[in-house]
A and B are shown apart, each in its own frame.
Chain A
Amino acid sequence: MTSLTTDHKPIYDSEMRRKPEINEVRELARYWHLVIQLTRRDIVTRYKRSFLGIAWTMLNPLGTTVILAFVFSQVFGARGPYAVYVLSGLLPWTFFAQSTSACMVGLIAGGSLIRKIYLPRTVFSISAILTALINLGLSLVPLLIVMLLYGLSPQPSLLFLPLSTLCLAMFALGIGLILSSIAIYFPDVREMYQIILTAWLYLSPVIYTEDFLPPKYVWVVHLNPMYYLIKIFRTPIYDGIIPAPQEIFLSLAIALLTLMLGWILFTRKAEEFAYRV
């Protein structure tokens, strides 16, 4: 058979080692269809056979907002369009919490697959982030409704949201990759993470405003990366202005660094995943 020329056939040689973090990007480009199919799978199984599925994505943050708005305005005496404040922080927070948890679930569920067939291991995390992005997009609908109810007309500053979302997505992917490279060995990390998330939520100005904090603890909150990422998401919505340049650069830097750290850590560890018997 003369057809076996090595020119146009892929060759796998175990001794040709490229840097794993770069190799993963190349492989990901080849397996892009799989990322799309996995995202599609998650969206379809969630929404296709239930109308409530879509409605729930929109009603869930709305319900939380109604409760919090009631408690804070009636009990703690918060003023102004508090509901818009909560919702504009709750959406990026929910995105972060859901997508990072989904990264872990995705890799654990895909574990049986990666022990049988070669796949770039990052596909699970990336599709988890894409799925969460679609959910975030859907939950912008109730946000717009609440804004209009409070007489806040959408400002051109909303056009800044894609960049805020990009920062958020990069940060979540970085954290998700770090978490899933541990969770594949220890499933209990998933439960521990839920407790960490609860603590983290209270360390982030999502339901309370910044001036609510005792001044001597403000620095603690300022150490929290989510503080900046939530802020650049909220400012265009709640204040109707584009965030300050230093806030934008800081968020971008946090997001990029976290993504790089997570990517390098995960891809270097990824080869060992299949070794687990």
Chain B
Amino acid sequence: MSKATAPQTLQAPLSIENLKEVIRLERVGVCYRVPSERILSFKEYAIRWLQRRITSREFWALKEVTFSVHQGETFGLIGANGAGKSTLLKVVARVIRPTEGRVVVVGHVAPLLEFGAGFHPDLTGRENIYLNGAILGFSRKEMEAKLERIVDFAELWDFIDAPIRTYSSGMSARLGFAIATDIEPDVLLVDEVFSVGDEAFRRKSEARMREFRERGTTIMFVSHSMESVKELCHRVAWIDHGHVKAVGYPEEVINAYRNSQLG
């Protein structure tokens, strides 16, 4: 597209010898500016601004994060709450531009949205499929071609023309998962989604993730369930206070993480 403006360094790492690198993070840092007091109204903000009483502190959610993920890899992210795992997914998903460092992602990236994000309760299931598809960057026509498979997978043919507000949470979770996984991205970002839905659907979802893996989709997977991570991931990164503590095979990294929590 705009090759002329690409920095020189892009040429080498992503050329033929390194074809398989799909996600590359180079010394990535993300700094949030957190106001020392939460100001919720514009009036208050204006008054404090006049009084010069607006202060904020810096909070580095990620710092010096460097690693690469390769084609077809399922890459796990583990760590305590607030360690920066979700921020890392946001950086890869292009939601947040890193404050420092560099991110390069090759291919179409799709986050597996939290179920129901982007659904409108008054629209029917069918209408929501088109809306959700558009959010993920697909036209109505493209979604029409996928509709049958999506509804089949979600097992919602009887309700597809009823408004989403009449759905149970499990039903909308099924629809959300079915849409998100039918669009066949190059990179799939999964943030802690197996906690909802019934047991049968959970198994079905895991089966679909395996399908993805076999097809060569690169997956970045955040989870607190060490069993899922061990079972699904090729490699794992342990994030702690915004730093990468370890990257490697699931067994080793998970053990290191567990040991640190005991002590």
Could you list which residues of chain A lie within 8 angstroms of chain B, going by C-beta atoms?
1-2, 4-6, 9-16, 18, 30-31, 33-34, 36-38, 40-41, 44-45, 49, 112-119, 182, 185-189, 192, 271, 274-275, 277
A117, B135: Cβ atoms closer than 8 Å: yes
B120 interface hit (Cβ, 8 Å): yes
Candidates B33, B45, B113; contact of A186 at CB < 8 Å: B45
B170 interface hit (Cβ, 8 Å): no
Residues of A with C-beta under 8 A to B36: none
A4 with B136: in contact, given A14-B98, A182-B42 (CB under 8 Å)? no
A33, B106: Cβ atoms closer than 8 Å: no
A-contact 0/1 string along B70-102, CB 8 Å cutoff: 011000000000000000001101111110011
Candidates A1, A11, A16, A33; contact of B20 at CB < 8 Å: A1
Q: How far is the CB of B224 from chain A (nearest CB, A)?
A: 18
A33, B41: Cβ atoms closer than 8 Å: no
A10 and B93 CA atoms in complex are apart in Å by 13
A274 and B91 CA atoms in complex are apart in Å by 11
A113, B14: Cβ atoms closer than 8 Å: no
Residues of B with C-beta under 8 A to A115: 90, 95
B57 interface hit (Cβ, 8 Å): no
Candidates B33, B122, B134; contact of A36 at CB < 8 Å: B134
Residues of B with C-beta under 8 A to A2: 19
A142 and B229 CA atoms in complex are apart in Å by 63
Q: Chain B interface secondary structure, helix, strand, loop or mixed?
A: loop
Candidates A12, A33, A114, A277; contact of B105 at CB < 8 Å: A12
B41, A188: Cβ atoms closer than 8 Å: yes
Residue of A nearest to B30 (CB): A275
B135, A11: Cβ atoms closer than 8 Å: no
A118, B95: Cβ atoms closer than 8 Å: yes
Residues of A with C-beta under 8 A to B106: 4, 6, 9-11
A277 and B30 CA atoms in complex are apart in Å by 12
Residues of A with C-beta under 8 A to B137: 30-31, 33-34
Q: How far is the CB of A113 from chain B (nearest CB, A)?
A: 6
A33, B5: Cβ atoms closer than 8 Å: no
A275 with B105: in contact, given A4-B20, A186-B45 (CB under 8 Å)? no
A11 with B71: in contact, given A30-B137, A34-B134 (CB under 8 Å)? no
A275, B102: Cβ atoms closer than 8 Å: no
Give 12 pairs: A residue, B residue, CB < 8 Å, sorted on A.
A4-B20, A5-B19, A6-B106, A9-B106, A12-B105, A34-B134, A40-B131, A41-B127, A115-B90, A116-B90, A117-B111, A186-B39
B102, A113: Cβ atoms closer than 8 Å: no
Residue of B nearest to A30 (CB): B137
Chain B: interface residue count, which band?
35 or more
Candidates B97, B104, B134; contact of A271 at CB < 8 Å: B97
A37, B95: Cβ atoms closer than 8 Å: no
A188 with B113: in contact, given A16-B7, A37-B131 (CB under 8 Å)? no
Residue of A nearest to B46 (CB): A186
A185 and B46 CA atoms in complex are apart in Å by 13
B103, A14: Cβ atoms closer than 8 Å: yes
Residues of B with C-beta under 8 A to A188: 40-43
Candidates B6, B96, B140; contact of A16 at CB < 8 Å: B6
A11 with B41: in contact, given A37-B140, A115-B95, A116-B95 (CB under 8 Å)? no
Which of A9, A38, A116 has the most B CB atoms < 10 Å from its CB? A116
Residues of A with C-beta under 8 A to B67: none
Residues of A with C-beta under 8 A to B105: 11-12
Residue of B nearest to A46 (CB): B122
A49, B122: Cβ atoms closer than 8 Å: yes
Residues of A with C-beta under 8 A to B71: 1, 4
Residues of A with C-beta under 8 A to B95: 114-118, 274
A162 and B39 CA atoms in complex are apart in Å by 43
Q: How far is the CB of A97 from chain B (nearest CB, A)?
A: 19
B120, A45: Cβ atoms closer than 8 Å: yes
Residues of B with C-beta under 8 A to A38: 131, 134
Residues of B with C-beta under 8 A to A277: 32, 34
Residues of B with C-beta under 8 A to A117: 93, 95, 111, 113, 135-136
Q: How far is the CB of B141 from chain A (nearest CB, A)?
A: 9
Q: How far is the CB of B42 from chain A (nearest CB, A)?
A: 4
Q: How far is the CB of A194 from chain B (nearest CB, A)?
A: 13
Residues of A with C-beta under 8 A to B135: 34, 37, 113, 117, 119
A34 and B140 CA atoms in complex are apart in Å by 9
